[in-house]
């Protein structure tokens, strides 16, 4: 039979990689809980209009990257390319927008984007995301950034730098946009077709284009940070003070604009060194207009998305490896049918008591069972035969030291957890 392969740009995650995945997911859930964020689970697909409005018509995500399909009843859906729009929709739809502020949610979700697969970029990927709504001040920006920074630190990642910028607000951006448009018109012949198409409608997107010639144009473009209104400048200055006091290091990087349309004021990225071209492990910022855009109340918002694969690349780069956290404490090697059955019962009881234990289910020889116990990394092996069952005593061996101890069959749990 011909083999069927997984779709391009997707992943099968198996041991030992899955230990790292689980460890990261556990860490982000721990950290998010410590920051008072509650987990939210949203649908894998949504009406396409949610992303058109929530992410923005002129973005690469909406223009080129969405997986869309028409349902049997003719409704157009998209596999979620990100989480923020869905979470904002869920808050509005479930009446949470009137809860006591701020609203603090996080999620660990798979997202789908039709992109060219490479290291750190796949078509299905997992994102850890946070959203904080209802807090317009820079204390919220600080909280979100420090959450991201804490996760990165607790994962043992040390090769990451925080880049911050402000892209202004509806008050100061129009003036800047006109200046930028003028500059782009002057450099039109160097831009790609996509950028020429969007330079009049959404010139900021051009600054985020991945094409080399466009990047060069972006390099010398007027900078948002030089055109902030007093309120936006003040917001950034306060955030900088708060980060400085907490000892969170950052660089001001005028080139960070973020790919999604709904951002205002603060935008930031945590960028890793040495993991290849896709080096942004975390991207986020403020989106004070999003809730209203989706039919909710006027409400400030800020958050980030962190790609798990890129975290893993950064961890690898820093030499962090995660072992199987559930190696068996005990393997019972048995001889004869009576002992094999007794082994099943003992192991069953140990497992119910929270102890990782195993025994033979393959009718293997004693020698083969010992080999298996070694292979699965059991800490202790207990030898069980008719004689042991009769006397109620058996020899237990610690694999690493080969030290043997005679114990009563009643005290197995106590011995291996001591």
Residues at the contact surface with ligand ATP, assessed by CB under 6 A? 82, 113, 115, 120-122, 125, 127, 259, 278, 280-283, 305-307, 309-310
> Residue 102 carries which DSSP code?
P
Shortest Cβ 332–ligand ATP spacing (Å): 43
By beta-carbon proximity to ligand ATP, the closer residue of 83 and 222 is: 83
CA pseudo-torsion sign 252, 256, 260, 261: positive
By beta-carbon proximity to ligand ATP, the closer residue of 118 and 403 is: 118
> Chain centroid to CA 13: how far?
15
Burial letters for 136-160: b for 16+ Cβ neighbours within 10 Å, e otherwise? bebebbbbbbbbbbbbbeebebebb
Rounded Cα distance, 137 and 234, in Å: 10
Rounded Cα distance, 151 and 128, in Å: 10
By beta-carbon proximity to ligand ATP, the closer residue of 48 and 409 is: 48
**DSSP 3-state assignment of 257?**
coil
Shortest Cβ 288–ligand ATP spacing (Å): 17
By beta-carbon proximity to ligand ATP, the closer residue of 263 and 372 is: 263
By beta-carbon proximity to ligand ATP, the closer residue of 126 and 381 is: 126
Residues facing 266 on adjacent strands: 166
Shortest Cβ 227–ligand ATP spacing (Å): 22
Contact 66, 99 (CB under 8 A): no
Shortest Cβ 310–ligand ATP spacing (Å): 4
For residue 313, what are its two tokens? Answer: 């690349």
Rounded Cα distance, 382 and 399, in Å: 10
Given the structure tokens 């998010």, which residue do they identify? 32
Shortest Cβ 52–ligand ATP spacing (Å): 15
Count of CB atoms situated within 10 Å of the CB of 54: 24
By beta-carbon proximity to ligand ATP, the closer residue of 47 and 115 is: 115
Rounded Cα distance, 380 and 334, in Å: 14
By beta-carbon proximity to ligand ATP, the closer residue of 120 and 328 is: 120
By beta-carbon proximity to ligand ATP, the closer residue of 141 and 358 is: 141
Closest CA to 168 of 128, 212, 207: 207
**DSSP 3-state assignment of 151?**
helix
Shortest Cβ 301–ligand ATP spacing (Å): 14
Shortest Cβ 54–ligand ATP spacing (Å): 12
Shortest Cβ 46–ligand ATP spacing (Å): 16
Shortest Cβ 203–ligand ATP spacing (Å): 17
- Helix, strand, coil shares of the chain, percent, nearest 5, are 40, 20, 40
**Residue of closest CB approach to ligand ATP:** 307
By beta-carbon proximity to ligand ATP, the closer residue of 312 and 359 is: 312
91 Ramachandran zone, left/alpha/beta (phi>0; psi -120 to 50) = alpha
Contact 137, 242 (CB under 8 A): no
């Amino acid at each position: 039979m011909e083999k069927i392969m997984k779709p391009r740009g997707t992943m099968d995650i198996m041991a030992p990689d899955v230990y790292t995945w689980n460890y990261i997911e556990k860490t982000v859930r721990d950290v998010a809980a410590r920051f008072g964020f509650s987990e939210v689970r949203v649908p894998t697909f949504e009406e396409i209009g949610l992303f058109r409005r929530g992410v923005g018509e002129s973005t690469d995500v909406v223009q080129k990257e969405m997986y869309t399909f028409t349902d049997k009843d003719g409704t157009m859906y998209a596999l979620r390319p990100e989480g923020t729009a869905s979470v904002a929709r869920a808050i509005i739809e479930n009446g949470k927008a009137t809860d006591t502020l701020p609203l603090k949610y996080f999620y660990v979700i798979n997202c789908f984007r039709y992109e060219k697969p490479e290291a750190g970029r796949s078509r299905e990927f997992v994102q850890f995301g946070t959203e904080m709504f209802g807090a317009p001040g820079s204390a919220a920006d600080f909280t979100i950034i420090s959450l991201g920074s804490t996760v990165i630190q607790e994962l043992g990642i040390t090769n990451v730098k925080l880049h911050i910028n402000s892209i202004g607000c509806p008050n100061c951006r129009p003036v800047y946009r006109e200046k930028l448009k003028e500059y782009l018109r002057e450099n039109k012949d160097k831009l790609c077709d996509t950028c020429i198409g969007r330079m009049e409608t959404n010139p900021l997107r051009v600054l985020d284009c991945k094409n080399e010639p466009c990047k060069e144009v972006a390099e010398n473009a007027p900078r948002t940070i030089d055109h902030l209104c007093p309120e936006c400048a003040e917001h950034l200055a306060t955030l900088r003070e708060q980060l400085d006091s907490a000892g969170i290091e950052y660089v001001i990087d005028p080139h960070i604009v973020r790919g999604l349309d709904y951002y205002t004021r603060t935008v930031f990225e945590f960028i890793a060194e040495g993991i290849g071209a896709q080096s942004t492990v975390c991207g986020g910022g403020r989106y004070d207009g999003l809730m209203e855009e989706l039919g909710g109340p006027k409400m400030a918002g800020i958050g980030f998305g962190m790609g798990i694969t890129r975290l893993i690349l950064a961890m690898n780069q820093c030499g962090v490896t995660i072992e199987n956290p559930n190696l068996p404490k005990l393997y019972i090697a048995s001889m004869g049918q009576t002992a094999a059955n007794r082994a099943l019962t003992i192991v069953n009881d140990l497992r119910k008591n929270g102890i990782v234990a195993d025994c033979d289910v393959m009718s293997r020889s004693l020698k083969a069972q010992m080999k298996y116990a070694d292979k699965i990394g059991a800490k202790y092996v207990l030898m069980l035969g008719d004689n042991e069952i009769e006397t109620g005593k058996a020899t237990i061996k610690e694999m690493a030291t080969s030290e043997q101890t005679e114990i009563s069959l009643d005290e197995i749990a106590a011995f291996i957890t001591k």
